[in-house]
Structure formats: C-alpha cells, structure tokens
Amino acid sequence: MKDVARIAGVAIVTVSRVLNEPDKVAPATREAVLDAMRQVGYLPNLVAGSLASNKSGMVAVVVPTITNSIFADTVQGAADLLEAEGISILLGQTGYDDERERSLIATMLGRRAEGIVVIGCTQAPPARALLAAAHVPVVQTWDLVDDPVDLIVGFSNFGAGRAVAAHLVDRGYRRLAFLGGGDPRSYARGEGFRAALHDRGMAAALEVDLASPAAIEAGRDGLARLRGVAPRIEAAFFSTDVFAAGALLGCVQAGIAVPADLAIAGFGDLELAAQMNLTTVRIRGYDIGRGAATMILARLAGTPLDRRTVDLGFELVVRGTT
C-alpha cells in the first residue's frame, strides 16, 4: 500500500480511501491510484484492515460434518447470502465431538468472526458458555428450544417424530419401532415418536440405536437386528433417509414386502427418498442457512429483528413405503 501511494504520488490514506470510499476521492487521483495498484499487483491486506476496523468480514459456520448432504444445504444457503455481501465463510466440522466443537467455536471467535451459525441447540456447557459470552450474533439451527443462546432458525424435531407416529397409526400400523440415535436431533425425533404413542395409550415402540454418521449399511443392519428381536414389527421409523434407504434395500433382498409386511418411514427427504418412493419428512436445509444468514446480516446492519426464533416447520411426505 505504501508502494502504491508512492507510485501514485499520494498519501497512504488516499489509497485506503480509493478502496473503501471511492466517491470521496477526485476521479483523477482515483485513476492514478488504481493504475499504481495494477502496476504493483496490489492485493489489499484484509487482515490489517480487519484489525484496524475491528470487522473481520467473516462469519463462522460450524456443522457436524459437511459430508452429510443435509448440512451441506444449510452451509450453501448461508454462504450464498453472505458471500454476496463480501463476507467469507469460516467452516468448522465437529465430527459430533463436543470438545472439538468447543475448540472450533473458540478459534472462530478468536478470529473475530462477526457471526456464528451452529447446528443444533444443545451444545455442551463449555461450548454454550463461549457462545453466550460471544459479542456477536449466534444462530442455533435445526431444532427449536425455549432457551436459545441468541437466535434460532429451525423446526421441531420432536414434532416431526410425533407426526410420523400419527401417520403410521392412522394407517393402521400398531407394532412400531424407532431406529436412530447418535445426535440430539435424532433423539428428539424419537422422543416425539414415543410421546405420540404414549398419548394414544399404545404400547411403547421398540428402539434400536444406530450410530452416526449415517450410512446405508447401518440402516440395513439395524433392520436385521430389529427383525431378530421382533419379527412381527409392522412399521419402522428411521431417524434419517439414509438409514431408511438401507433398510428398504435390505427388504428387497430379503423378500420382505414394503409396506405390506413392513412399512418404512425416513427423515430428511433427500433425493434418494423420492427416488425410492420413501415416505419421509421434508425439511428445508437450504432455507435454514438462508434464514441464519439473514438474521446475522440484519444484526450487523443494526436492523432490529422482529423475532429471535424462526420456525421453518417440516412437511410429512407420504409416499409408497407406508
């Protein structure tokens, strides 16, 4: 920058102005400065700018894993809006590990991210404490709770589980099972499923723990295990479409008719769900990301938010497997 100023024959501050408030500089000098920049191949040091202005121009997005296409949608949604504003994305992957999540959050806060988006509302206490003490907007996503750290964009996992249960019961299925686990949101869907049966005075659902990260194989294995202990089960709700797809595949190979012998429902409405004609719950991952970005941008712009929690809802998509 010093070089640019010297070549253009102006003061350093003028160069800075050409970059940040071009209008306040005479067209002639502006051109001279721009010329000098091209000559030197000048790339503004945004780090120095961040320090001086106390604005990093970065927003952090922390997800369990980007490989899960459902979270990728959220990242994309947030990035599309943020990048358009010249804000860069700091991406963090927790791998479903609490300590890694805490350390990632600490690092990103240290890098002075101007906002932070996290998946889920149930961060472990140390991570939550960091978020609560952060002086930037914090958006929790993918679920709803009564005591958010700051902002929320999500839907009710509990409600989704309940809706699936209601649908299965309406269809006449009685001996039900829930297969899932791993993360808190999957657990919440199981809770809702359970609660719906309890409300109806029905027998509790059988439960099978399936480990994250979601893999097709795990779904198939889970189904096999389930049928080992409860061969007469009538309908199974899997915490993600990936598991359900595996189970469906297992059924085909084992000659189990779906839904006649066994009904199957998933969650997420991934592309493969439509493809396999799978009943599932649609949630709008991309819009969650957009919503989170919108709230952060509003906060940064000083616009007051009309509400701190946005419920994007979910939609039961009934197809051929139930």
Partner DNA sequence: CTGTTAGCGCGTTCAC
Partner DNA sequence: GTGAACGCGCTAACAG
Binding stretches for its own copies (CB under 8 A) = 41, 43-48, 50-51, 56-58, 61, 65-67, 69, 72-73, 75-76, 79-80, 83, 86, 88-93, 100, 104, 106-112, 133, 216, 245, 249, 271-272, 274-275
Report the site for DNA in 102-161 (rule: CB under 7 A).
Answer: none
In the numeric block, the tokens 């991309």 are attached to 286
In the list its own copies, DNA, none, the entry touching 126 (Cβ below 5 to 8 angstroms by class) is: none
- Shortest gap between Cβ of 200 and its own copies (angstroms)? 35
* Residue 181 near residue 209, CB atoms below 8 Å: yes
Q: Which stretch binds DNA (CB under 7 A): 13-21, 134-142, 199-207, 214-222?
A: 13-21
Binder of residue 93, out of DNA, its own copies, none (CB less than 5 to 8 A by kind): its own copies
Give the one residue of 31, 35, 39, 48 binding DNA; rule: CB under 7 A: 48
Structure tokens, 278 = 């799978």
Considering the complex, state which of residue 150 and residue 207 has its C-beta at the smaller distance from its own copies: 150
Identified binder of DNA from the candidate list 39, 53, 107, 303, rule CB under 7 A:
53
Q: Which does 301 bind (CB under 5 to 8 A by kind): its own copies, DNA, none?
A: none
Q: How far is the CB of 242 from its own copies (least distance, A)?
A: 8
Task: Pick the binder of DNA from 35, 38, 39, 45 (CB under 7 A).
Answer: 45
Angle between helices 12-20 and 27-40 (to 10 degrees): 100
Q: Rounded to the nearest whole angstrom, what is the least distance from the CB of residue 76 to its own copies in the complex?
A: 5
Q: Which of 10, 75, 168, 281 binds DNA (CB under 7 A)?
A: 10
Q: Does 51 bind DNA (CB under 7 A)?
A: yes
Minimal distance in Å, beta carbon 92 to its own copies?
7
Is residue 1 at the binding interface for DNA, with CB under 7 A as the rule?
yes
The C-alpha atoms of residue 118 and residue 80 are separated, in whole angstroms, by: 17
| 4 vs 297, beta carbon nearer DNA | 4
Stretch that binds DNA, among 22-30, 135-143, 177-185, 278-286 (CB under 7 A): 22-30
| Cβ proximity to DNA, 28 vs 260, nearer residue | 28
Beta strand pairing call for 58-63 and 88-93: parallel
Strand ranges across the sheet with 263-265: 206-209, 176-180, 235-238, 263-265
Distance of CA 224 to the CA centre of its chain: 30
Q: Which of residues 54-83 bind DNA (CB under 7 A)?
A: 54
- When asked if residue 52 is in the footprint of DNA (CB under 7 A), the reply is yes
Residues that bind DNA (CB under 7 A): 1-2, 9-14, 16-17, 19-20, 23-26, 28-30, 44-45, 48-49, 51-54
